[in-house]
Amino acid sequence: MIDNGFSIKETDKRMARLGVSGEDISAILVTHEHGDHLSGVARYARRYNISVWASHGTATMIKDIDGLQCFNSHESFNLGGFLVEPVLVPHDAREPTQFIFRSNDMKLGVMTDTGSITQHMIEVLAGCDALLLECNYDRDMLLNGVYPESLKRRVVGDWGHLDNQQSVHLLKQLETEKLQHLVLAHVSEKNNSHELVLDCVSSAIHCDRARLKVIDQDDGLDWCTLTTDINSKETLHA
């Protein structure tokens, strides 16, 4: 599990919908200390006796977890059958990381909560078989929207979030031909719309919008299966 901003009840409900339970989770990785990512971690970890992992900087912000495990943000490590590569990102937290997961020759990238795009991100996210990418806001909607000025400045800043155009700009610099799934995530309910996200991304990387997935904050996302079988493999562009 990566992050948890929900109550135990809500998490259990979302897990049950996917046919799993807290007992199936071997570890929770925490990307950073913001409430939407951290507020549910400690109670869920305690409830199901799950180990919790975070960078040293993030760990300094976590008070209520006994036996918290730290990883080095510059080194890959093995966890739950995956090789986990932390990716440091510019975001207004102590030591925020996102992740690359490798298993069975497959590469999954997870990239949210970053205010700008670094050369390092472009290098490590290239050639993913699946990618979950932040499309947080539409610039015009945010700037003309209801957020107070200080919050607007935070979100658009270099340590805030990616807007649709930045995400598209990042995607265009990645090798995307192996992608079996592209999941667009951390989409603001006030400053963005699923339609806008799908329009931007599908036209930028020339793929059918039906092949893209946008995570709904209420409904979450179903399982996405990655296949190594060349005969049944469908990529975004196939």
> Which of residues 34 and 102 has its CB atom nearest to Zn ion in the complex?
34
Closer residue to Zn ion in complex, CB, 113/129: 113
Residues that bind Zn ion (CB under 5 A): 34, 36, 113
- Classify 217 as helix, strand or coil: coil
The separation between the first and the last C-alpha atoms of the chain, rounded to the nearest angstrom, is: 30
User: Could you tell me if 197 and 164 are in contact, meaning their C-beta atoms sit under 8 angstroms apart?
Assistant: yes
- Name the minimum Å distance from CB 141 to Zn ion: 18
Q: How far is the CB of 189 from Zn ion (least distance, A)?
A: 13
Measured from the CB atom, the residue of 34 and 213 that comes closer to Zn ion is 34
Instruction: Please give the radius of gyration of the chain, using alpha carbons only, rounded to the nearest integer.
Output: 17
| Cβ distance to Zn ion smaller for residue 34 or 139 | 34
Q: Closest residue to Zn ion, Cβ-based?
A: 34
Taking the complex as a whole, how short is the minimal distance between the CB of residue 99 and Zn ion, in angstroms? 14
- How far apart CA 90 and CA 159 sit, in angstroms, is 5
Cβ distance 90 to 115 under 8 Å?
A: yes
Comparing CB distances to Zn ion, the nearer of 113 and 138 is: 113
CA distance 129 to 106: 6
Give one DSSP letter per residue of 162-195, joined into a string. Answer: -BHHHHHHHHHHS--TT-SEEEEE---SSS--HH
Smallest separation (angstroms) from Zn ion to the CB of 23:
27
Looking up tokens 């200390």 gives: 33
Q: Which is nearer to Zn ion, 12 or 36 (CB)?
A: 36
In angstroms, give the least distance from the CB of 190 to Zn ion.
14
Q: Which residues contact 134 (CB under 8 A, 6 or more apart)?
A: 111, 112, 113, 114, 161, 162, 167, 184, 185, 186
CB of 33 to Zn ion, least distance (A): 8
